[in-house]
Amino acid sequence: MLRFELQSLMESREVHQPLSFLVKAGFNYHTAHRLLKSNSRSIRMDHVEQLCIALNCTPDDLLVWEAPRTMGNLSKHPLKKLTNRQRKGSILPKIKSLPQDKLDELRLYIDKLSEE
């Protein structure tokens, strides 16, 4: 089953007030609240686009797939890449605890990634 997973993406992006973030991004209060509840059976494509722009992500970053147990071995199915996403909140506490030489390495790596 495909699930819309916005809350963990918000946490990993250091969005501490998701509702106000979405309202500032152009969603009305009702829509923002519904999106954050993650129990929507459908989502409008223009909302997906709006979320992707606001969070600098792609639609597949918004989805998680839980493979049905009754469907047998789906280990090679393309949806498999949407399973077992381990977004565990912010990485900032880990970054803050790094020594200066590791921060310099990280900065170089981030610069390289941002050039791509």
Domain with 17 in it: what CATH number? 1.10.260
Determine the average pLDDT of the residues in 45-71: 87
In a domain, 74, yes or no: yes
In a domain, 23, yes or no: yes
Provide the residue range defining the domain that includes 71: 2-87
In a domain, 33, yes or no: yes
**pLDDT recorded at residue 88:** 65
Q: How confident is the model at residue 55 (pLDDT cuts 50, 70, 90)?
A: very high
- Does the structure show a pLDDT above 70 at 100? yes
Helix residue ranges, H only, 45-88: 45-55
Helix or strand (DSSP H, E) at 36: helix 29-37
| % of the chain exceeding 70 in pLDDT | 86
In a domain, 92, yes or no: no
DSSP 73: -
**pLDDT recorded at residue 63:** 86
In a domain, 115, yes or no: no
CB–CB of 60/31 below 8 Å? no
Number of domains present in the structure of the chain: 1
pTM of the model: 0.69
pLDDT tens figures, 15-33: 999 999 999 999 999 999 9
In a domain, 15, yes or no: yes
In a domain, 70, yes or no: yes
Q: How confident is the model at residue 74 (pLDDT cuts 50, 70, 90)?
A: low
